[in-house]
C-alpha cells in the first residue's frame, strides 16, 4: 500500500473534483472520492483498485457524511487532505428566489462543508496533522448582481475558514481557501440553478449574467488540470497559504475589489474613527496580535 497522503474529496464525479482525483491517482496518492452517484467513478475504480475508494455521499445528508469520514479512516487509517469541493451556483436577484432554493444553496455550499469538517476534525487532531481545503470562488471575495445568493454562500465559507485557520494553530492542521476564476468545468452549464420567479422587467441582471455564463461556457481561460496540479503543489509545500487564487482573472477581480474597498472607506475615515469614548484605547478587533 502506498505511503503517500490520503485525500478525501467531495463532488468527485465532475469538474475540479474529478480532475483532482484523476491527477492524484496518476501521482500515486490514495484517494477517497465521493459523489452522490458513485457509479460515475467506476472507470477510475477499475483503473486504480488499490488506491481509490468511491463512496456515496450527499453532503447535505449528515448520516452519509459521518459514514463517509469513518469509512475513509477505517479503509486507509487516516485522512491527510480534506477537500470540500461539492457545490453549485445559483443565479438570480434575491427577490426572484424561492425559499427552498435559498436554503438548498447554503445547505450544499456552506453547511455541507461544516458538517464534513466537524466529522473529520477529531481524527485530524488525534493524528496532529492534516490540511482542510475549501473550494470557494472569486465570487467568495467579490459579489456580483444576480449572483448574490451563490456569493453569500461562498463569503460565509471563507469567513468560517479564516476563523478555522486560527483555531487550528497548535494542532498541526492547516486550512486553505481556493478561489478560482473562470475554468472549463460544468459550472456555467448544467450546474447552474436559475431563480424560479424571474422578473426581467425589474431585474434584467439575471438574464444578463446567466446569458454571459452560458455564452462563455467552454471558452473559459482556465485549465482545470493545471489548477489541480497547482493545488497539489500548494499542499506539498512547506508554507501553504490561507488563500490560493487560480487564474489571472481571479487576481484581477480580487485586487480590484481590494482597491475599491480602500477607496470606499477612506473618505469616511475621520467620521468613523471619532465614534469612540474619549480616552479609550483602541485595540484590534478580535484581540491584538
The catalytic position among 48, 88, 150, 203 is: 150
Model pLDDT, residue 1:
45
CATH number for the domain including 168? 3.40.50.720
Q: Is 165 annotated as catalytic?
A: no
78 within some domain: yes
Q: The domain containing residue 135 runs over which residues?
A: 6-251
DSSP one-letter string for 55-110: EE--TT-HHHHHHHHHHHHHHHS--SEEEE----EEES-GGG--HHHHHHHHIIII
The catalytic position among 12, 146, 154, 203 is: 154
74 within some domain: yes
The catalytic position among 12, 13, 90, 136 is: 136
pLDDT per residue rounded down to tens, the chain (289 residues):
457 999 999 999 999 999 999 999 999 999 999 999 999 999 999 999 999 999 999 999 999 999 999 999 999 999 999 999 999 999 999 999 999 999 999 999 999 999 999 999 999 999 999 999 999 999 999 999 999 999 999 999 999 999 999 999 999 999 999 999 999 887 665 678 999 999 999 999 999 998 888 888 778 888 999 999 999 999 999 999 999 999 999 999 999 999 999 999 999 999 999 999 998 888 777 765 5
Local structure of residue 14 (DSSP, 8 states): S
Number of CB atoms found within 10 A of residue 212's CB = 12
160 within some domain: yes
273 within some domain: no
Q: Is 150 annotated as catalytic?
A: yes
217 within some domain: yes
Helix (H, G, I), strand (E, B) or coil at 50: coil
Local structure of residue 2 (DSSP, 8 states): -
Model pLDDT, residue 288:
52
222 within some domain: yes
284 within some domain: no
286 within some domain: no
Q: Is 47 annotated as catalytic?
A: no
Model pLDDT, residue 242:
98
Model pLDDT, residue 189:
59
Total domain count for the chain?
A: 1
Amino acid at each position: 500500500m502506498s505511503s503517500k497522503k490520503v485525500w478525501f474529496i467531495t463532488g468527485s464525479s465532475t469538474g475540479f473534483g474529478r480532475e483532482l482525483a484523476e491527477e492524484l491517482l496518476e501521482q500515486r496518492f490514495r484517494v477517497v472520492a465521493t459523489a452522490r452517484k458513485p457509479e460515475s467513478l467506476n472507470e477510475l475504480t477499475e483503473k486504480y483498485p488499490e488506491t481509490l475508494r468511491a463512496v456515496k455521499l450527499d453532503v447535505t445528508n449528515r448520516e452519509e457524511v459521518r459514514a463517509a469520514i469513518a469509512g475513509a479512516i477505517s479503509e486507509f487509517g487516516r485522512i491527510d487532505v480534506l477537500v470540500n469541493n461539492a457545490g453549485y451556483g445559483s443565479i438570480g436577484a434575491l427577490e426572484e428566489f424561492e425559499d427552498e432554493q435559498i436554503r438548498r444553496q447554503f445547505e450544499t455550499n456552506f453547511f455541507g462543508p461544516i458538517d464534513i469538517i466537524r466529522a473529520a476534525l477529531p481524527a485530524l487532531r488525534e493524528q496532529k496533522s492534516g490540511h482542510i481545503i475549501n473550494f470557494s470562488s472569486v465570487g467568495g471575495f467579490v459579489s456580483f448582481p444576480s449572483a448574490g445568493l451563490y456569493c453569500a454562500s461562498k463569503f460565509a465559507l471563507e469567513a468560517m475558514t479564516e476563523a478555522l485557520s486560527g483555531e487550528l494553530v497548535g494542532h498541526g492542521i492547516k486550512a486553505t481557501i481556493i478561489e478560482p476564476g473562470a475554468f472549463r468545468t460544468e459550472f456555467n452549464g448544467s450546474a447552474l440553478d436559475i431563480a424560479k420567479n424571474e422578473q426581467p422587467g425589474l431585474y434584467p441582471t439575471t438574464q444578463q449574467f446567466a446569458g454571459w455564463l452560458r455564452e462563455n461556457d467552454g471558452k473559459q481561460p482556465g485549465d482545470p488540470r493545471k489548477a489541480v496540479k497547482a493545488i497539489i503543489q500548494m499542499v506539498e509545500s512547506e508554507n501553504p497559504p490561507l488563500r490560493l487564487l487560480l487564474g489571472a482573472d481571479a487576481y484581477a477581480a480580487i485586487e480590484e475589489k481590494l482597491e475599491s474597498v480602500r477607496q470606499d472607506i477612506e473618505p469616511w475615515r475621520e467620521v468613523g474613527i471619532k465614534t469612540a469614548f474619549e480616552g479609550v484605547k483602541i485595540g484590534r478587533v478580535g484581540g491584538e496580535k
